[in-house]
Amino acid sequence: MTPVVKGSDPDMPYDARIDRLPIYALFDLKGPKEALAAWSKDTLEFPNGPSRLKRRGSAALCHIGPNRWLLRDDLQNEAALSETLRPQDAPAEISIVRVSDTQTFFRITGPDALEVMSIGCTLDLHATVFGPDAVSYTEFFGIKALVLRCEGGFECAVEQSFGNMIEDFLTRAMA
């Protein structure tokens, strides 16, 4: 995707930039927190509460549901994470599934990032409600999407087959 930037068209109503991001390493973790921590030999740093994330280096662990977390890291760390988490050997009480190629991420940054997000998202994303460590699945242009904050704006992830559609919607929203 060619980044959509206000500067490319002076008539654009929003001062924001939209980028389609490369694939991340993603692991879907389910089960009791204590069991996951023990299985990962305490290499996972869990966030403080529901709909929160904890960053460590390039990795972010997102608490996305009851007894459910999503671990995101750069793609080059996928093999190392697989080796640490050993999804194929996980005990019955937990589930670890590599889902790296199932999600397409977009980054919306700039002074009007909140306005652009508000076109497609019903969630209150104001900084007083949706803080820097907030993360949540919600509705984005009518489909389920993961929304989190990043430096200067927001990132959102949708199921990869919706990637082109959301790219089109975001481009139109900026037009």
| CA–CA separation, 99 and 141 (whole Å) | 22
For residues 31 to 50, the per-residue mask of contacts with another protein, x marking binding by CB under 8 A and - elsewhere, is -------------------x
Q: Which is nearer to another protein, 17 or 52 (CB)?
A: 52
CB 100 within 8 A of CB 3: no
| CA–CA separation, 82 and 87 (whole Å) | 7
Instruction: Point out which span in 12-20, 60-68, 89-97, 99-107 binds another protein (CB under 8 A).
Output: 60-68
Residue 123 makes contact with another protein by CB under 8 A = yes
Of 66, 72, 81, 68, the closest CA to residue 54 belongs to 72
The residue from 3, 13, 32, 65 that contacts another protein (CB under 8 A) is 65
The helix (run of H) or strand (run of E) holding residue 78 is helix 78-85
Instruction: Point out which span in 10-18, 89-97, 109-117, 134-142 binds another protein (CB under 8 A).
Output: 134-142
To the nearest whole angstrom, how small is the minimum distance from the Cβ of residue 62 to another protein?
11
Of 133, 126, 119, 124, the closest CA to residue 166 belongs to 119
Instruction: Describe the chain by its helix, strand, coil percentages, rounded to 5.
Output: 30, 35, 35
For residues 75 to 114, the per-residue mask of contacts with another protein, x marking binding by CB under 8 A and - elsewhere, is ----------------------------------------
Residues in contact with another protein by CB under 8 A are 50-51, 64-66, 68, 122-123, 136-139, 143-144
